């Protein structure tokens, strides 16, 4: 890959843009009636411009951004100067909030194109991408979707120009991923203002000028009911940035704790519907974090490939040693497969956002947790292999791969851990299975997997992988039916303990599902790009191996986990 342009110098990303994305459908949804060729050409020019700036300006500053970290002075938190310069340059190019419509000063880019920019930024410097995505894109998207005309006019133009920075605050110290336990409250006053009380933690870009806060606004409500989103401006110490966490990942990005004590705020959207509204942000963020992983993995693979070409051992470049060659092929398959899966989902997101496509929404719901799981777990694996390819010098900061390794570790954690993604994916799959139990006698409950068919080695390995997934589901459902009786298939209620074995093995099922979908999208690409056949074969073979291994692990479950849980439970009683 070229170091002078992260778009045109990345052949696979260019191939996805030029030959894979169904642009006619995207343009038809995003800009009905627009000239497809002309619109896509403009979007390509934007990515070319961004790719050049990101490669030549942001990437060279990444090590310095990481080394300096967050600035903490006299109780104030701010970004360091190299990070600020990165963002200033993006704003000058008109790319601060690229998805904001042109009417408000943005570039009006679809989600798919915005995510390609996000991938390039993550490849250059994940900390900068986080500030760009969370500080500008996320608050702008929420304001545009749910804000009043007055709020849009007030906040969107300065966000689009990069004149202000915002954040989105959901997480609380005692709640974590259990959003229903949040305790920050919003209370209305007679003048129409609302007052926030509470604390938020782990808020990316929390040092900015405003924050969108998820708070409990209906008295007596509990769980996910009675929540609302509120905009609070920081001006005049309206809320307090208590601290920025000291982290070994994305060091240049401030991750803040915020205190709200009598904070003045205005509702964003209808109070009481905050959970439904913020779900749009969460789903997009999960796709975005999966794509972050692709960016970091691309950087690591690029460095490993370069080093393996130059490093000579035993009379030949180390990439010619079989084990190293296999590592490089593994990395290539992971990165390319993750990218193919992610942009398949990105297109669906555009069709849902702009086209209200119901089938796209169903498919997107299936793929979102898999994109997040595979893109981030794959990033950790690729960075680990890149470190191994480098050997001893890999731990030396000069070679960058140590930073890639560190930064990759946050991606399977924030915006819902890999385990939470697994629970989401498998609960949905089991719900579908209970609705259509006969699917386990055929190709399974996933429409996307069941409808796919390929010839040759790709087809046989893909079919075997799908068969192992269906077999694992059949085994788990059999246990459940034996426990609950045949009434389960007629809608009998399920208690949490009934789902124990399914929840235990959720990540094994998710891993198998993700690999099967990666094999599917790469095989579909190989149909019209024959040069990709070998890559598709590797992905299908891996899917077969992973699904077979995980099916056996599920079958050999000895119940020891549940015995230990029972023992721990007895200690509490």
As separate numbers, helices (DSSP H) first and strands (DSSP E) second, the chain gives 20, 11
Active-site position among 119, 172, 415, 548: 415
- Residue in 234, 214, 218 with CA at minimum distance from that of residue 226: 218
Q: What is the rounded radius of gyration, in angstroms, for the C-alpha atoms of the chain? A: 24
Distance separating alpha carbons of residues 329 and 333, to the nearest angstrom:
6
Spatial contact of 55 and 6, defined as CB atoms under 8 Å apart: yes
366 is catalytic: no
- Say whether 460 sits in a helix, a strand or coil: helix
Rounded to the nearest angstrom, the gap between the alpha carbon of residue 5 and the centroid of all alpha carbons in its chain is: 24
Under 8 Å CB-to-CB from 62, ≥6 apart: which residues?
124, 125, 127, 128, 400, 403
Spatial contact of 364 and 349, defined as CB atoms under 8 Å apart: yes
Q: Which residues pair with 273 in a beta bridge?
A: 227
Angle at alpha carbon of residue 272, lines to 266 and 274, rounded to 5°? 75
- Residue in 388, 272, 230 with CA at minimum distance from that of residue 323: 388
Helices (H), 133-270: 138-146, 149-161
Q: Which residues pair with 229 in a beta bridge?
A: 214, 268
Spatial contact of 231 and 155, defined as CB atoms under 8 Å apart: yes
- Residue in 277, 284, 250, 468 with CA at minimum distance from that of residue 371: 284
Distance separating alpha carbons of residues 21 and 151, to the nearest angstrom:
34
Angle at alpha carbon of residue 352, lines to 346 and 357, rounded to 5°? 125
Catalytic residue numbers, as ranges: 415
């Amino acid at each position: 890959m070229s170091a002078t342009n992260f778009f045109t110098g990345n052949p696979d990303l260019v191939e996805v843009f030029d030959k894979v994305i169904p642009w006619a459908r995207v343009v038809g949804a995003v800009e009905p009636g627009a000239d497809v060729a002309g619109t896509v050409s403009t979007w390509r020019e934007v990515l070319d411009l961004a790719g050049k700036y990101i490669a030549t300006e942001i990437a060279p500053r990444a090590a310095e951004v990481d080394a300096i970290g967050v600035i903490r002075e006299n109780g104030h938190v701010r970004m360091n100067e190299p990070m600020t310069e990165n963002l200033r340059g993006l704003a000058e190019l008109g790319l601060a909030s690229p998805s904001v419509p042109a009417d408000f000063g943005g570039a009006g880019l679809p989600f798919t194109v915005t995510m390609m920019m996000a991938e390039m930024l993550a490849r250059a410097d994940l900390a900068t991408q986080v500030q760009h995505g969370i500080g500008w894109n996320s608050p702008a998207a929420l304001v545009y979707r749910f804000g009043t005309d007055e709020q849009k006019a007030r906040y969107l133009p300065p966000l689009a120009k990069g004149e202000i920075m915002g954040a989105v605050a959901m997480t609380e110290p005692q709640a974590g991923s259990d959003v229903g336990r949040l305790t920050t409250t919003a209370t209305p006053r007679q003048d129409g203002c609302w007052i926030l009380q509470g604390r938020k933690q782990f808020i990316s870009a929390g040092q900015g000028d405003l924050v969108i806060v998820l708070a409990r606004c209906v008295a007596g409500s509990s769980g996910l009911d009675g929540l609302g989103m509120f905009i609070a401006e920081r001006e005049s110490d309206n809320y307090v940035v208590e601290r920025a966490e000291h982290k070994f990942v994305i060091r240049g990005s401030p991750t803040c704790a915020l205190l709200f004590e009598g904070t003045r705020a205005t509702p964003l959207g209808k109070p009481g519907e905050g959970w439904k509204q913020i779900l749009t942000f969460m789903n997009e963020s999960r796709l975005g974090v999966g794509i972050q992983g692709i960016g970091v993995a691309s950087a690591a693979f690029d460095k490993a490939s370069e080093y393996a070409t130059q490093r000579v051992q035993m009379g030949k470049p180390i990439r010619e040693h079989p084990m190293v060659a296999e590592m490089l092929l593994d990395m290539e398959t992971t990165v390319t497969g993750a990218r193919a899966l992610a942009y398949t989902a990105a297109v669906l997101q555009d069709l849902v956002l702009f086209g209200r496509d119901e089938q796209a929404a169903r498919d997107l719901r299936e793929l979102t947790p898999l994109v997040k799981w595979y893109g981030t777990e794959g990033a950790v694996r690729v960075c680990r292999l890149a470190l191994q390819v480098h050997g001893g010098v890999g731990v030396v900061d000069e070679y960058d791969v140590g930073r890639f390794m560190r930064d990759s570790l946050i991606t399977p954690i924030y915006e819902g851990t890999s385990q939470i993604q697994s629970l989401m994916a498998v609960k949905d799959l089991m719900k579908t299975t209970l609705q259509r139990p006969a699917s386990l006698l055929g190709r399974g409950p996933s429409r996307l997997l069941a409808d796919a068919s390929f010839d040759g080695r790709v087809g046989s390995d893909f079919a075997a992988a799908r068969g192992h997934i269906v077999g694992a589901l059949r085994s788990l459902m059999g246990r459940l039916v034996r426990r609950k009786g045949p009434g389960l298939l007629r809608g009998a209620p399920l208690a949490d303990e009934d789902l124990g074995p399914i929840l235990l093995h959720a990540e094994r099922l998710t891993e198998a599902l993700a690999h099967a979908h990666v094999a599917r999208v790469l095989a579909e690409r190989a149909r019209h790009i024959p040069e990709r056949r070998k890559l598709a074969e590797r992905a299908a073979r891996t899917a077969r191996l992973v699904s077979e291994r995980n099916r056996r692990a599920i079958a050999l479950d000895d119940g020891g986990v549940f015995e230990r849980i029972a023992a721990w439970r007895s200690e509490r009683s």
